[in-house]
Amino acid sequence: MELDELVSLRPVPGAGLLVTVTNRCPLGCAHCSASSTPTGQEPDAAALTGFVGSFQAGHAPRVMMLTGGEPLLRPGLVVELARRAQAAGTRTAVLTGAFFAVREGLADPIRDVIDAVDHFSVSIDAFHEREVPRASAFRLLHRVLERGTAASIHAIGATSEDGYLDELAHDVHRAFDGAVPILASTLRPVGRAALWVSAEPATTRPRTLPCAMAAWPVVAPDGTVLACCNQIVVDRRPVPAHLRLGHIAQDGWERIEAAALASPMLRLIRTTGPEYLARLTAPRESADLPLGHCVSCRALDPAKLAGHDAVRLAAGPAGRLLDLESARRQVEAGAEDFLRRHASGRHAALVHARAR
């Protein structure tokens, strides 16, 4: 499974599942969106394997993305989750900071992970390179490719114009001749980076702005399953009612999938965006103000919106059709278009790998 296929599925409701395997991490990167530490919280292994074991043919995500923290602090669990997912037809991708790559060779548990997953992605940026040299990460990626597993790089620059991203892309092409694609993004003021990265200034945006980030359920470190991957939603409790789908200790995938797909609030967030919903109940004099995408979403009050015509429409077949059509158009536009809207647009074409 190559990176562009993985990204192209991101707008499709229920097509994927994001799993926080652990919030622990031995690295201390200054930009960590999850503020991970060596003693961070993590889901109960038995509950997590039971949840993934609830995948069934016809009721399973098409892809499961394992992340952290550092998921390869629990390599045996990653292998077990990948095998259980595979039994239901779900493919697995893992994203690692590659803390172990500073040593020569591959330890058996890491080798087992590479062989078990369908895609292996490594974080490389200026912050990671202070602890895991680029040469070490490249050596690991060569080993991954040699074992027949698709690989990619998740890179972060200060901005889209950051020369670091251009220089990294040049080195990656020279080292791998196009076999390793790059998902290039930019810094956000979340996690530890919230202390020193400035938020982008508010701008006037379209009245409707679909949110693909509400398409894939997310397993948080405490086992709560969310409809949103925004780090504030992942970290803070209580979760806004319209963004909580369940918990891995009580709910199987079929129930989580149903909650994500049938919610009229989530259908509207995915198709018209949360700012549109916020304006439905905003005072008339503030209805045209840019409220902020994620802030608007977290502040939504389902009780105030319950009787609105748009929400009633979204609850029925027309709402389901609108949800599907919105996803279809985004998939048709392709991975590059998605990254131009959600990552470093200038580097969106790097998402493609040459045929191996």
Q: What is the DSSP string of 45-67?
A: HHHHHHHHTT-BTTBS-SEEEEE
**Structure confidence at residue 355 as a pLDDT band (50, 70, 90):** low
**Structure confidence at residue 307 as a pLDDT band (50, 70, 90):** confident
Lowest-pLDDT range, 188-192, 207-211, 253-257, 308-312?
207-211
For the residues 75-81, what does the mean pLDDT come to?
98
Instruction: For residue 140, give the amino acid letter.
Output: L
Kindly state the tokens that stand for 71: 């998921």
Decide: helix, strand or coil at residue 155: strand
List pLDDT tens digits, range 91-109: 999 999 999 999 988 999 9
Specify the residue for token string 């999850």: 34
For the residues 282-292, what does the mean pLDDT come to?
57
What pTM was computed for the model?
A: 0.92
CATH fold of 3-221+334-351: TIM Barrel (3.20.20)
Q: Facing residues of 247 across strands?
A: 224
More confident residue, 162 or 53: 53
Q: Facing residues of 290 across strands?
A: none
d(CA 152, CA 16): 18
d(CA 274, CA 297): 5
C-alpha distances (whole Å) from 205 to each of 124, 236, 276, 288 are 32, 27, 11, 10
**Structure confidence at residue 33 as a pLDDT band (50, 70, 90):** confident
The per-residue b/e assignment along 120-130, b for 16 or more CB within 10 angstroms, e otherwise, is bbbbbbbbbbe
Residue 120 DSSP class:
E
Mean of per-residue pLDDT scores for the chain: 90
For the residues 84-97, what does the mean pLDDT come to?
97
Decide: helix, strand or coil at residue 98: coil
pLDDT for res 206? 52
Cis peptide bond upstream of 13, omega within 30: no
Q: Where are the domains of the chain?
A: 3-221+334-351, 252-330
Q: Which bin fits 227, alpha (ψ -120 to 50), beta or left (φ > 0)? A: alpha
**Structure confidence at residue 187 as a pLDDT band (50, 70, 90):** confident
Phi/psi of residue 331, nearest 5 degrees:
-65, -40
pLDDT for res 318? 92
Q: H-type helices in 263-316, by residue range?
A: 264-271, 274-280, 293-299, 302-305, 309-314
C-alpha distances (whole Å) from 307 to each of 105, 275, 278, 296 are 61, 18, 14, 19
